[in-house]
Amino acid sequence: MPRVSSDRALEDTRSYGRAAGLLTIALGSAGVLAYLFFAFASHSLSRDEYGEIVVLWSVVFVAASTLFRPIEQLLSRTLAEREQVGENSGHVLRVAALIQVSLTVLALLALMVLRGPIQDNLLEGGGVLFWVLVVSLFGFGGAYYARGFLAGRRRFALYASLLILEGLARLGFALAVAIGIADGVDAVAIGIAVAPLAGLLVTPLALRHRRLDAGTAAVTRADAAAEDAVPSGRIEEPEFTLSRGGAFAAAVLVMMLSEQVIVGSGVLFVRAGEGAAAAGFIFNVLMVARAPLMLFQAIAASLLPHLTRLRARGDESGKEGFRMSVNTTLITIAGFATLTTLGVLAIGPEVMQLAFGEKFEYDRTGLAIVAVGMGCYLSAAALNQAALAQGQARRAALCWASCAVLFLAWNLVSPLDAFRNVEVGFAGAAALLSGLLYAIYSRPHPIAADTFEPDSPREIEARLATADEVA
């Protein structure tokens, strides 16, 4: 039996690697599709119309990530653990569905109560845009539940398909306006609402796979029992409960919320002070950082499990490999950021107008500031993976939260003009964040509850959380 169990574990690991590779490709592809969506929209719409799309997108993404990601995390962890020990997960699915439906209903009711201020002040009277916001949140409530289900079942191929279907559906509407099949800001906006619903087309396949799980549950339970009977020398991960896992999940949630503040809230600050057209402009400027961040997701999705495995080895070669992997990643980021900064100083405004149209005139200095901030932010993202692998989730979350609060305070004080506030604030917050996370990485004080084994449910959860799209 130990031999059979060992062979099964080896095959599971290989299968996990293949599926995770699909996820890495999907994350990068989803980022590219999002970039193309905004490029087509910017060329096709007026300055004010494009600004309305940017504001709508920002509100949808921040609200959906904040409200619905916790259930994705809960499902991804709990289902994986139940599958690992061969236990039934029907109760988990029902409870998670009840929570998600409740959150979605409350969000929609809040939108209806606040319809006047949202529609008239935030969306500039756009009735269609308001209903796009409503449908989008409804769709993302189901989409994040589906993501958690697929991640927990390790159906990464279907998870990848969901992300790509979302991106293609959204892009299709912007492309239709660009080539003249459709017209206006409403047509582009509808793509934002349709995208999460299109991703749900993979659910019939997911349900079909679920029926196969019952047939393998007994085998999984027997193998798990055999593994428990044979000392393996590994650290036993505590059974998942909300009380035990809540602190780690809360730490990851703080990181995600802080990321939205640092990367996304600048658009809303400019919108409040300068209007929709100005929001579209600063959104384009921040694409100098957003586009590399989207592509870095592919690296992030692979870096965390790689570092986790090296650390789990516990020998000198593992420690040296961990250090070299982090340093190599940081050096690569520094080189990329340097080239990007030099590039935007040389031809940045011209490239931006080529990509997004000639509606705006771009400032070389502002683009360079954001490029430097991008390098710092990518470094912080890499160091954050190292901190998670070291069991430093709570300390890292405190760093993220502190930098997010400072970014908000900087923009509320507004010592510079609205655009430069966001540019300098982003670069400063990113630089501070990378420095704080480097200090944690250099002097780790791991907490046992924040540490996870390679290929464990906890690692899968952290892998998905830290690779989530930055849109």
- Percent of the chain having pLDDT more than 70? 73
On whether both 180 and 249 belong to a single domain, the answer is: no
Structure confidence at residue 247 (pLDDT): 62
Please name the residues in contact with 242: beta carbons below 8 A apart, sequence gap of 6 or more.
none
Which of 11-15, 84-88, 323-327 holds the top average pLDDT?
323-327
Q: pLDDT of 45-102, one tens digit each?
A: 888 888 889 889 888 988 887 788 777 767 766 676 566 556 676 777 888 888 889 8
Say which amino acid occupies 39. A
User: Could you tell me which residues come within 8 angstroms of residue 443 by beta carbon, excluding any fewer than 6 positions away?
Assistant: none
Instruction: Please check whether residue 233 lies inside any domain of the structure.
Output: no
Q: Please write down the long-range contacts of 326-331, taking CB distance under 8 Å and 24 or more positions apart.
A: 326/382, 326/383, 326/386, 326/441, 329/299, 329/303, 329/382, 330/379, 330/382, 330/383
Q: Coil, helix or strand for 389?
A: helix
In this model, does residue 263 exceed pLDDT 50?
Answer: yes
The answer to whether residue 97 is domain-embedded is yes
Top-confidence residue, 27 or 181: 181
- Report the range of poorest mean pLDDT among 2-11, 84-93, 385-394, 418-427: 2-11
Domain boundary among 183, 206, 228: 228
Asked whether residue 212 is assigned to any structural domain, the reply reads: yes
**Mean pLDDT, residues 392-419:** 91
Cα–chain center distance at 388: 16
Q: Do residues 179 and 254 both lie within one domain?
A: no
Record the tokens describing residue 1, joined without a space: 């039996």
pLDDT for position 13 = 47
Shared domain check, 276 and 218:
no
pLDDT at 426 over 70: yes
Mean pLDDT of 373-402: 90
Nearest CA-CA partner of 389 in 294, 469, 456: 456
Number of domains present in the structure of the chain: 2
Whether 92 and 75 have beta carbons less than 8 Å apart is answered as: yes
**Residue 285 domain-assigned (yes or no):** yes
Does any domain span residue 235? Answer: no
Same domain, 123 and 46: yes
Nearest to 427 by CA among 435, 59, 330: 435
Residues 260 and 222 in one domain: no
pLDDT at 383 over 70: yes
Question: Is there a single domain that holds both residue 35 and residue 126?
Answer: yes
What percentage of the chain carries pLDDT values higher than 90? 28
Question: Are 328 and 427 in a shared domain?
Answer: yes
Residue finishing a domain among 186, 204, 228: 228
**Among the listed ranges 126-135, 301-310, 427-436, 456-465, which one has the minimum average pLDDT value?**
456-465
Confidence of residue 407 (pLDDT cuts 50, 70, 90): very high
Same domain, 147 and 175: yes
450 domain-assigned:
yes
- Is there a single domain that holds both residue 158 and residue 192? yes
Considering only 44-58, 61-75, 355-369, 449-463, which range has the smallest mean pLDDT?
449-463
Please give the average per-residue pLDDT across 351-363, as a whole number: 84
Report residue 464's pLDDT band, with 50, 70 and 90 as the boundaries: low
**Is 236 a domain residue?**
no
| Ranges 63-72, 82-91, 305-314, 448-457: which has the least confidence | 448-457
What is the sign, positive or negative, of the torsion defined by CA atoms of 59, 63, 64, 65? positive
Does 54 map to a domain? yes
For every residue of 415-439, DSSP letters joined together read -S-HHHHHHHHHHHHHHHHHHHHHH
* Domain containing residue 322: 242-471
pTM here is 0.72
* Cβ atoms of 342 and 261 closer than 8 Å: no
Residues 176 and 269 in one domain: no
Decide which of 228, 261, 294 is a domain's last residue.
228
Question: With bands split at pLDDT 50, 70 and 90, how would you rate the model's confidence at 246?
Answer: low
Looking at the fold, whether 283 and 201 belong to one and the same domain comes out as no
The CA distance from 36 to 419, in Å, is 23
Q: Are 256 and 375 part of one and the same domain? A: yes
Q: Are 270 and 415 in contact (CB under 8 A)?
A: no
Q: Tell me what pLDDT residue 249 has.
A: 61
Distance of alpha carbon 312 from alpha carbon 305, whole angstroms: 10
